[in-house]
Chains A and B, each alone.
Chain A
Amino acid sequence: MNQPREQIVPSRLALAHISKSFPGVKANEDISLSIAPGEIHALLGENGAGKSTLVKIIYGVQQADEGTISWNGEPVAIPSPKAARKLGIGMVFQHFSLFDAMTVIENIALGLDEAVDREELKARVAAILESYSLPLDPDREVHTLSVGERQRIEIVRCLLQKPKLLIMDEPTSVLTPQEVERLFSTLRQIAAEGCSILYISHKLSEIRALCDSATILRAGRVVATCDPKVETTKRMAELMIGAELRKIEHSKTAGAGAVRLSVTGLSLPGEPPFGTDLEAVSFVARAGEILGIAGVAGNGQAELLTALSGERLAPGPATIQLDGKAIGQEGAGARRALGLACVPEERNGHAAVPDFSLADNGLLTARHRVPLAPHGWISRGSVKRFADSVIKLFDVRTTGYGALARSLSGGNLQKFIMGREIGQQPAVLVVSQPTWGVDAGAAAAIRQELVDLAAKGSAVVVISQDLDELLELADRLSVINEGRLSAPRPVASLGIDEIGLMMGGVHGAEAAAHA
């Protein structure tokens, strides 16, 4: 260092007055932030707040219109991702750039800018895996790996370049709670070794647990910089959405309504190769209530949802009853027509057809309950009006009903899908992970819609891994564990120790999975 007069260590990365416009939008306006060496810095903001644009500027994917970037105190230009990597900036994208049919080590080799001898690369990867105690088999093919393991490939790709700044874009949106814990300990170790981390997320509790400081963006501008360990979650959420967060209003009558959905002794073998068998699952969902089903991923949630939606039929007609009618042997369309709507967890490809417009996606499920295709002839006008009303009512940010489902961000597509189902006034709505990857403002809106739907006399079943969400939403709570469902308990009467016991069940599942 030939700058003896500098008293403080220069920032690893400093942005000064960054602005970036696209036709019609100011994505970033006068953004300044600085990240110290070894600091974990959170970048918070709703969808469309300008986080991704800012990150793309830092990683050289896009160029700022105005402003300067300094790296270790020196102003730099970052014209390409390659230049960013050369400076020592690594990035783990939300959507991985991986090749399913290839092995882990081949995927890592492809991510490097220069050719590295196979044996040498193996040794370097093994060293990284060991020093960060990351469980990952370099010779496995990627399609056999879990999402968490895939993310580790991307992290190893970055670590191989010995980064000085690691950008993580929504890294936990697809991880199980256990994988999140493991990721956090890895990130803490990386930061302790002097690498700065820019951490982008909606999940405020995670930011509180992990980050040293936070920059909050709203509508392309910095609205606050704070210490997330001191600031309250509620305050940060309010800063982010720019309004006071609505508290969920529960209806008072929950639990007294008539039984709308009843499932009795539902057993179903899991689908090979990785399915979980459902074993004698029984529950009822009453009018006006929200039943929560908690549990770690892979304990039968997916099987339960497909059994309820009618994608797989129950062994007997009476196993599943809707308003007293045996529907166990009815297919998905018939169940929808009767008023049982389901929202699976995978949005693109399961809940929606990615290459269809929003209007057509609306038609696909709503035609059973809304007269969109009378006598089998599609009424284009009604289809558009239906999609438009969903877009308006649920504040879906899109160019209109003609937009392709794949062009929407995860949160906006989820809002559209939820709106499509709720707009049909279903008797029973079963939804899996209703707010996965959705920002705080939208999540609150979706939760309120679920509560309102229940208040109108529907029964709502929410399957989620997010225990906080379930405690906030549900009137009664069950836990699914290795295909078995525990007896539901009223949430209001659940003591801290009982929640602990339920969590114990959840953690028990993890222990079994690792055995």
Chain B
Amino acid sequence: MTSAILVSILMTLVAASTPILLAALGELVAEKAGVLNLGVEGMMLCGAVAGFAVAFSSGSTTLGLFAALLAGVATAMVFAVLALSLNANQVATGLALTIFGIGASSLIGAGFVGRTIPRLGPIFPAALSEHPWLRVVFGHDILVYLSLALVIGIGFFLRRTRPGLILRAVGENDASAHAIGYPVIAIRYAAVAFGGALAGLGGAYFSLALTPMWADRLTAGRGWIALALVVFSAWRPGRLLVGAYLFGAVATLELQAKAAGVSFLAPEVLAMAPYLATIAVLTMMSLGRRTGRLDAPACLGKPFSAV
């Protein structure tokens, strides 16, 4: 009995962590290329509503996922044109993108409020995905496995491959990268598009997998958590995984504690717990190391224009 509860808690934990992890991984790549896109929340909401609308109209969650990905990229491109081609301030543009995303998703989603669609299902056969305890490993949908594969994939890409090296170089010193002959702006466009794609998928996770029903602003600020995680993880995918799952874990425990009627803590304090725990743990992880000065890409947020 207790093991069944434990399994169900673990399943909830993974589900709560995945959208944050996806969005944060995308932002990590964009920031490694030197672009600070604060519009994650907005891109997630656009992905969420596009995914839901297409899945609702077509009846296919797969098509919904593609739509979410494209919607994320499209929103990111709005940012890219303004911030990279027109050299608008990245912070202001990112904030505007989030406000835009909130409004656009409300407008498009107005007709869908309360509608439901079939939930994004597990990818393994029922024998595995509904097994009493094997489902902890095999019972998830495709985005969960994708996000975990991306942690390894992005880590390998950035550390071990030449394109990854060039991407980091662009974020580290745009002028030098340009002087050597790399197309700084084009590389940043690609990184921002990748970030938008993952943010779109992260948003769609809310509308297609977590709660297959449309509600306004259903990402509930998770885009901001993803942004903060990127910084606290010192731009490392492995730490991002730890941070996202830690946040998911404490958020799940908070729900359990509420459900169990824990009364010695005010519900507001419980609601704070995931944020506090994540910040505390990630800060401690950064403390033990050499000075954190060089963690951030040196050109993060700086506009670049080739003379």
Contacts and interface: CB of A to CB of B under 8 A. Distances in A.
Interface string A81-117: 1100000000001001111111000100111010100
A101 B168 CA distance: 9
Contacts of A96: 176
A139 to B, nearest CB: 14
Contacts of B172: 99-102
B294 A110 contact: no
A26 interface: no
Contacts of A115: 162
Nearest to B160: A118
B66 to A, nearest CB: 32
Tell which of B168, B181, B297 has the most Cβ of chain A within 10 Å: B181
B173 A99 contact: yes
Contacts of A99: 168-169, 172-173, 176-177
A100 B173 contact: yes
Contacts of B298: 100-101
Contacts of A17: none
Contact of B181 (A81, A141, A143): A81
B165 A106 contact: yes
B180 interface: yes
Given A97-B180, A111-B180, A143 B169 contact: no
Instruction: Select the residue from A93, A101, A113 with max chain B CB neighbours within 10 A.
Output: A101
A98 B162 contact: no
B173 A98 contact: yes
B99 interface: no
Contacts of B162: 109, 115
A209 to B, nearest CB: 30
Contacts of B127: none
Interface in B158-185: 162, 165-166, 168-169, 172-173, 175-177, 179-182
Nearest to B294: A101
Contact of A100 (B165, B175, B179, B294): B294
Interface string A108-141: 0111010100000000000000000000000001
Contacts of A98: 173, 176
A99 B178 CA distance: 12
A97 B173 CA distance: 8
A413 B298 CA distance: 26
Contacts of B297: 101
Interface in B173-231: 173, 175-177, 179-182
A82 B176 contact: no
Given A98-B176, A99-B176, A100-B172, A143 B165 contact: no
Contact of A143 (B177, B179, B182, B294): B294
A510 B297 CA distance: 35
A98 B175 CA distance: 10
Contacts of A82: 181
B-side interface size class? 10 to 19
Given A97-B179, A100-B298, A101-B298, A109 B165 contact: yes
Contacts of A101: 172, 294, 297-298
Contacts of B166: 110
Nearest to A107: B169
Of listed A106, A141, A143, residue having the most chain B CB within 10 A: A106
A101 B176 CA distance: 13
A97 to B, nearest CB: 4
Contact of B180 (A106, A110, A143): A110
A109 B162 CA distance: 8
Contacts of B177: 97, 99, 110
B188 to A, nearest CB: 16
Nearest to B159: A106
A111 B180 CA distance: 6
Interface string A330-370: 00000000000000000000000000000000000000000
B180 A102 contact: no
A471 B181 CA distance: 45
A143 B175 CA distance: 17
A109 B169 CA distance: 11
Contacts of A102: 165, 168-169, 172
A238 B261 CA distance: 91
A106 B169 CA distance: 9
A216 to B, nearest CB: 28
A82 B169 CA distance: 19
A160 to B, nearest CB: 13
A113 B175 CA distance: 17
A96 B179 CA distance: 10
Contacts of A141: 294
B261 to A, nearest CB: 50
Contacts of A106: 165
Contacts of A93: 179
A97 B176 contact: yes
A466 B168 CA distance: 39
Count chain A CB atoms within 10 A of each CB in B168, B179, B180, B182 and give the residue with the most: B180
B171 to A, nearest CB: 9
A115 B182 CA distance: 13
Nearest to A113: B181
Interface string B254-298: 000000000000000000000000000000000000000010011
Contacts of A81: 181
A178 to B, nearest CB: 27
B168 to A, nearest CB: 7
Contacts of A111: 180
A81 B181 CA distance: 9
B262 to A, nearest CB: 45
A38 to B, nearest CB: 28
A142 to B, nearest CB: 10
Nearest to A114: B162
Contacts of A113: 181
A324 B59 CA distance: 89
B234 to A, nearest CB: 12
A143 B172 CA distance: 12
A234 to B, nearest CB: 37
Nearest to A110: B169
Contacts of A143: 294
Nearest to A99: B172
A35 B129 CA distance: 75
A143 to B, nearest CB: 6
Nearest to B178: A97
Nearest to B295: A101
A270 B177 CA distance: 35
B172 to A, nearest CB: 4
A110 B179 contact: no
Given A98-B176, A101-B172, 14 more contacts: A93-B179, A96-B176, A97-B176, A99-B168, A99-B169, A99-B176, A100-B172, A100-B294, A101-B294, A102-B168, A102-B172, A109-B165, A113-B181, A143-B294
Can you list the 7 inter-chain pairs with the closest CB atoms, starting with the nearest?
A97-B176, A99-B172, A97-B179, A101-B294, A115-B162, A99-B173, A110-B169
Interface of A: 81-82, 93, 96-102, 106, 109-111, 113, 115, 141, 143
23 contacts: A81-B181, A93-B179, A96-B176, A97-B173, A97-B176, A97-B177, A97-B179, A98-B173, A99-B169, A99-B173, A99-B177, A100-B172, A100-B173, A100-B298, A101-B294, A101-B297, A102-B165, A102-B168, A102-B169, A102-B172, A109-B165, A110-B177, A111-B180
